Structure 1
Amino acid sequence: MARVDYARGGINPPHTHPRATEILTVIKGTLEVGFVTSNPENRLVSKVLRKGDVFVFPIGLVHFQRNTGHRNAVAIAALSIFGSKPDIPTDVLAKAFQVDRSVVQKLQAKF
């Protein structure tokens, strides 16, 4: 896990994690986040997040974050939670990230 502090207008430039999925939780402020899908689409998937929002960057995909708010922003990044062996129970992850169990199962299947 890592805490990331973003100055007003600050960015975490495009980068990848070849062996890890990243889950980002916004603690304070507003962040625009996004990732680029794999070939052949190379489509940008992006969203504006606010305090309490969570976003998943799939393993190996180029992704970024940018502070679009008027104040500093803070986020917590966690890596590889969906790829543990043995798996973290699906219901635990679904409740933690407020998503349907099927979303967790799809993410875990990618490993």
Structure 2
Amino acid sequence: MARIDYAPWGIVAPHYHPRATEILTVIEGSLEVGFVTSNPDNRLFSKILQKGDVFVFPVGLVHFQRNIGHMNAVAISGLIVFGSKPEISTDILAKAFQIDKNIVQQIQWRF
């Protein structure tokens, strides 16, 4: 997880994560976010997010974020780490996410 602080009109340039889905939650401000689908369509999906909104960037797709306000914006971003092969130790994930080991096992089972 990471906290992202955006200056007014600041951007996170288009980029991608080849092995992870990203989930973004807006804590303060307003963000324009979007991603581009794969070939052959190369279709842009974008949305304006407000405080409390959540957006998911699918694995491997180019995506971006931009503060569309005149004030600072803040978001929390997380990358999915479940489903790796071999699996990350349940103990490590439980401690990192501050959740019970049984919950980690339930999540990993879904992958």
Structure 2 unaligned segments of length 5 or more: list them: 88-104
Q: Tell me how far 1:87 sits from its aligned partner.
A: 5.6
TM-score scaled by length of structure 1: 0.75
Residue identity opposite 1:88 in structure 2: I
- Equivalent-residue separation in structure 1 for 2:59 and 2:106 (angstroms): 16
Q: Tell me how far 1:82 sits from its aligned partner.
A: 6.3
Structure-to-structure mapping, 1:1-111, within 5 angstroms: 1-80=1-80, 83=83, 88=107
Alignment RMSD (CA, Å): 2.1
- Percentage identity across aligned positions? 73
- Equivalent-residue separation in structure 1 for 2:82 and 2:55 (angstroms): 13
Q: For this pair of structures, how many residues does the alignment match?
A: 92
Give the number of the structure whose alpha-carbon radius of gyration is greater: 2
Q: Which runs of 4+ in 1 moved over 6 A?
A: none
- Equivalent-residue separation in structure 1 for 2:61 and 2:106 (angstroms): 22
Residue identity opposite 1:17 in structure 2: H
Residue identity opposite 2:22 in structure 1: E
- Equivalent-residue separation in structure 1 for 2:107 and 2:10 (angstroms): 33
Structure 1 unaligned segments of length 5 or more: list them: 90-104
TM-score scaled by length of structure 2: 0.75
Residue 94 of structure 1 corresponds to which residue in structure 2? none
